[in-house]
Amino acid sequence: MKWVLLLLVALSLRFRTADSVYDYFRLPTALRPQKYDLRILTRLEDEGNLSFNGTVKIKLEALQNTKNITLHSKDLEIDEAQITLRQVSGEGLKDNCVSSTEVNPNHDFYILHTCQELVAGHAYELELPFSAELQDQLVGYYRSSYVDPVSNETRWITITQFEPAYARMAFPCFDEPGYKAVFDITLGYHNKFTGLSNMPAKATKPHESLPDYVWSEFEESVPMSTYLVAYTVNDFTHKSSTLLTGPLFRTWARPNAIDQCDYAAEFGPKVLKYYEQLFGLKFPLPKVDQIAIPDFNAGAMENWGLVAYSESSLLYSKEYTSQENEKDIASTVAHELAHQWFGNLVTMNWWTDLWLNEGFATYVAGLGVEYIQPDWRFMEQATMSSLLTVFRKDSFNSSHPISRPIEMVSEISESFDEISYEKGSSVIRMMHLFLGEESFRSGLKSYLEKYAYKNAEQDNLWESLTLAAHKAGSLPKNYDLKTIMDSWTLQTGYPMVNVTRNYTARTAKLSQERYHLNTDISREHRRECWWVPLSYTSQEKKDFNNTAPKAWLECDKNGDSLPKTISDLPGPDQWVIFNNQLSSPYKVNYDARNWKLLIDTLNSEEYQTIDVVNRAQLIDDVLYFAWTGEQDYEIALGVINYLQRERELLPWKSAFNSLMTVSDFFRKLPNYMYFKSYMKKLITPIYEHLNGINDTYSTIQQKDKVTLKGMVASWACSYQVSDCVDQALSYFRSWRAEANPDENNPVPLGVRGNVYCTSIEHGSDEDWEFLWTRYEMANVASEKETILNALACSKEVWLVQRYLERIFVPNGEIRKQDSVSVFQSIAANDVGFLLAKKYLMDNVDSISKFFHPQFEAMSDIMKPLSEQIFSRKDYNEFKTFISNSKEQLKDLDQAIDQTLEQILTNVQWKERNYHQFTRAIQRFLVSK
Ligand code: BES
Ligand code: ZN
């Protein structure tokens, strides 16, 4: 069918012009842009007609002879009559022109047919005028607004968001990351505004005809990809950073939020400086601006020299920013600044290797935050979050490899997912740990130097690192990184390593297979092979800090796993643990006896002799194995029973993460009462140890205890542990009693989200209205977000329904950037779930139009629904809904497969494990 269509399109194009049989989604390769001269005039005066227009002059080098110029343009008006084309170098300097143009909307192509053939080796200059309306779709060159508190008037600003493929909505260009060019940008705007772009401004002149308008010209950029180009016209103010070394560093926000800029203004340059040391390469631009945009879809975007953020990802307020928000701000800034090297200086050739950008930025951000705030124990938390995410997402058959072929533009957006970010960063960490510091750093440095201002693919990275590792002796000479790492980046999934000990011979046999959550997948589909670095320790050695591999699981030429036996293990009364500190993303299953030894230690005073990261690993592994039947729930509950003693963050994080998946549907099942009692039994000791939700923050020394307290409080209130609900309600009551609640908030910062949610869940209509008013009045974006999510906790059907109907309203009270998260919060609530499901099914058409062209949002709103469906009947209903909504859910193939597989695994769990699990809980309820 696809082929027939392709042929039809090809034929129809042939019919129009003989040249255009080209119907491939990648640009033809006959031409290379070298330089763009971009002039853009932004009109923000007339609220009814916010628009921009401009011209782009592109200097092109012909690599092959060609009679057409194919570039990207989407939703732009182009006045064909004003297009010019001339030859600027090469012999002859013949006249040239554009004879006709056509568009190929499937690929956003704008195709210009030239009067004369362009000749290989010559250079040309193409000039195109363009214009468009400034819309609020959060991509391309778009408008954003805020209300000025003094005049109560709406103020308009503009910003770009080009990644991955939206530069084409702002100006005609060769919009692929491999086409690096230099950019000479000039912005025209009313002189009451400021214009910013990637480079510093070099001159400002009055506009030739428009009164009070200026042209601001920026310095020429370094060679860069189109998706990193950025500009903004705004009336913001800024804070300059005080760090004296390094480039000029400014942080911008709307005037009423300027005092929320200090934090990022100080953190940014520190982390930039750390990267200069880490990579051994100076930041190449003369300045960095970071700017907080009121309407911004992503958390942040790494535009070279002009990094854009949503307000909640950049702005910090002492009174309103919780420690969790503070960590998010620091890690977001660290992430975007890491991209200045990984992504901006060296860019992936094509989106297939997006993980080189996102995986690195995610990993390196962890190093950056850890360096600047060592007391946060950030790296271990980031590592754990990443691994927990990988173990979940990549356990689905419908997952995909880190490095994935991209054959359609829609697949580019799909790639910004947990696999690129979290699995990407996990395999980089694995490499860092098995190569050691020196090889890792020197390999990266030579890679960055070699490909600076150019493009690279993963093989280039393997090569630089292998060279460095062989030189330093940190990798056996007969191993190369390509063989090892291809098994991690080109294959979907991760291995489960089975360890079967021979207790008398003191050996262990190791084997591997892919771990699948979906039990319908046959053994045949599990026989993949990974190169697995094996570190391990035992009850007597306990050298958990040694993450260097003692051995490897290897694969033969056919991709089969080679058998492996480990010897010199301890005696029969001692446990062993593999994968010290979870240095690689794999699961480990042991024989029953080893599990039993582990359970004994965990449930004793000695439990802390097992490293905290490995305690978290044991919990995650055993709960997964119980889910899919590799272990039974007796063993799994035997492991997590020790949590009654546990006082550290990571094991709790791991446990909550897994128990959440069961809790999501157990809440709706008749045996819930047992689960609830069981959860109470587990949580009560830690809740009391942390002093509940009382404001004890000034006495907590360790930062990660604050995180733990917040996490425990939210579970405690939803399982009605101890005084949690009463305390939450009483905090909320004292807030309501404040004469000026927008100035004074007695609710402790660390538990605000939880207190608000619990109070709305148990509260009155007036409580809802009170909180909604606080949303309207708040001047700190993260506080607004916290409130929006808490408002979804109501159990009052009409309130929830009314709230649902406020979400997808163009120019409504809820910003488009927040709509996905509000819908998700409603769907995660038991009452909201049914309403949200129905609302989506009834309104799928208008919702998908609301998000256009960002269709990915549709997959995000299906996700929380799929996590709570667990019966075959509801599975079939959802499947029917999806097949009836083909048009609205277009280009979401991957997300749909994942959604359906998620539901299927829930159904499997219910059918296989519900009764076994209930019986196991009942036994644990009466024991110890
Ligand atoms: N390069 C991305 C921004 C992006 C995301 C562009 C998705 C296009 C599609 C940026 O570096 C990023 O990763 N932002 C994250 C936040 C970060 C701290 C993980 C985001 O926006 O969620
Ligand atoms: Zn990123």
| DSSP per-residue letters across 509-554 | EEEEEE--S-TTS-GGGG-----EEE-EEETTT--TT--S-SEEE-
Helix, strand, coil shares of the chain, percent, nearest 5, are 45, 20, 35
Ligand 1 atom with minimal separation from the 361 CA: 11
Residue 928: its pLDDT value, please? 61
Measured CA distances, 290 to 286, 334, 364, 649 (Å) = 14, 12, 19, 32
CA dist 141 and 166 (Å) reads 8
Catalytic residues: 336
Nearest to 536, CA basis, from 505, 501, 561: 501
Q: What is the mean pLDDT of residues 234-246?
A: 93
Distance from residue 852's CA to the centre of ligand 1 (Å): 19
Atom 18 in ligand 1: which residue has the minimum CA distance? Answer: 332
CB atoms within 10 A of CB 523: 7
Using DSSP bridges, classify how beta strands 532-534 and 536-538 pair: parallel, antiparallel or unpaired.
unpaired
Cross-strand partners of 37: 57, 184
- Give the helix ranges, DSSP H, for 473-506: 481-489
Distance of CA 822 to the CA centre of its chain: 18
Residue 23: its pLDDT value, please? 86
Amino acid making up residue 308: A
CA dist 275 and 355 (Å) reads 19
Q: Is 7 a residue whose pLDDT tops 70?
A: no
Mutate to test the pocket of ligand 1, among 267, 351, 416, 417 (most ligand atoms within 8 A of CB): 416
* Residues 295 and 240 sit within 8 Å (Cβ to Cβ): no
Question: What tens digit of pLDDT does each residue of 704-753 get?
Answer: 999 999 999 999 999 999 999 999 999 999 999 999 999 999 999 999 99
Amino acid making up residue 180: K
Helices 424-435 + 458-472 axis angle, to 10: 20
End-to-end Cα, the chain, rounded Å: 63
* Residues 517 and 658 sit within 8 Å (Cβ to Cβ): no
**pTM for the whole structure:** 0.96
Question: What tens digit of pLDDT does each residue of 641-667 get?
Answer: 999 999 999 999 999 999 999 998 889
* Percentage of the chain lying above the pLDDT 70 cut: 98
Nearest to 44, CA basis, from 145, 169, 171: 145
**Pocket of ligand 1 from Cβ distances under 6 Å:** 163-164, 298-302, 331-332, 335-336, 339, 358, 361, 416
Q: Is 927 a residue whose pLDDT tops 90?
A: no
* Residues 852 and 887 sit within 8 Å (Cβ to Cβ): no
Classify each residue of 645-677 as buried b or exposed e, where b means 16 or more C-beta atoms within 10 Å of its C-beta. bbebbbbbbbbbbbbebbbbbbeeeeeeebbbe
Question: What tens digit of pLDDT does each residue of 94-150 get?
Answer: 889 999 999 999 999 999 999 999 999 999 999 999 999 999 999 999 999 999 999
CA dist 32 and 62 (Å) reads 6
Residue 10: its pLDDT value, please? 40
Strand order in the sheet with 66-72: 66-72, 109-118, 98-104
Q: Is 696 a residue whose pLDDT tops 80?
A: yes
Classify each residue of 807-836 as buried b or exposed e, where b means 16 or more C-beta atoms within 10 Å of its C-beta. bbeeeeebbbbbbbbbbbbbbbbebbbbbb
Which tokens in the block code for residue 458? 């993963």
Q: What is the mean pLDDT of residues 769-793?
A: 98
Mutate to test the pocket of ligand 1, among 301, 347, 389 (most ligand atoms within 8 A of CB): 301
Residue 316: its pLDDT value, please? 98
Distance from residue 160's CA to the centre of ligand 1 (Å): 14
CA dist 485 and 431 (Å) reads 9
Atom 5 in ligand 1: which residue has the minimum CA distance? Answer: 298
**Residue 841 burial (10 A CB sphere; 0-12, 13-18, 19+):** middle
Which tokens in the block code for residue 151? 């005049």
CA dist 605 and 597 (Å) reads 14
Residue 20: its pLDDT value, please? 55
pLDDT band of 93, cuts 50, 70, 90: confident
Residue 14: its pLDDT value, please? 36
Of the bound ligands, which one is closest to the alpha carbon of residue 389? 1
pLDDT band of 11, cuts 50, 70, 90: very low
Distance from residue 301's CA to the centre of ligand 1 (Å): 6
743: left (phi over 0), alpha (psi -120 to 50) or beta: alpha
Nearest to 234, CA basis, from 152, 339, 134, 139: 134
Atom 16 in ligand 1: which residue has the minimum CA distance? Answer: 299
CA dist 895 and 889 (Å) reads 10
Atom 17 in ligand 1: which residue has the minimum CA distance? Answer: 332
Nearest to 385, CA basis, from 442, 429, 338, 444: 429
Q: What is the mean pLDDT of residues 304-316?
A: 98
Q: Is 8 a residue whose pLDDT tops 50?
A: no
pLDDT band of 17, cuts 50, 70, 90: very low
Q: Is 757 a residue whose pLDDT tops 90?
A: yes
Q: What are phi and psi of 730, to 5 degrees?
A: -70, -35
Of the bound ligands, which one is closest to the alpha carbon of residue 303? 1
Question: What tens digit of pLDDT does each residue of 150-178 get?
Answer: 999 999 999 999 999 999 999 999 999 99
CA dist 228 and 473 (Å) reads 38
CB atoms within 10 A of CB 423: 31
Ligand 1 atom with minimal separation from the 328 CA: 18
Which tokens in the block code for residue 229? 């180009």
Atom 22 in ligand 1: which residue has the minimum CA distance? Answer: 299
CA dist 613 and 504 (Å) reads 29
* Residues 156 and 50 sit within 8 Å (Cβ to Cβ): yes
Say which residues have a Cβ less than 8 Å from residue 77's Cβ, sequence separation at least 6: 130, 131, 132
Helix H or strand E encompassing 234: strand 231-234
Question: What tens digit of pLDDT does each residue of 866-904 get?
Answer: 999 999 999 999 999 999 999 999 999 999 999 999 999
Q: What is the mean pLDDT of residues 533-561?
A: 96
What's the 3-state SS for 896-925? HHHHHHHHHHHHHHHHHHHHHHHHHHHHHH
Handedness of CA 420, 421, 422, 428 (dihedral sign): positive
* Residues 302 and 153 sit within 8 Å (Cβ to Cβ): no
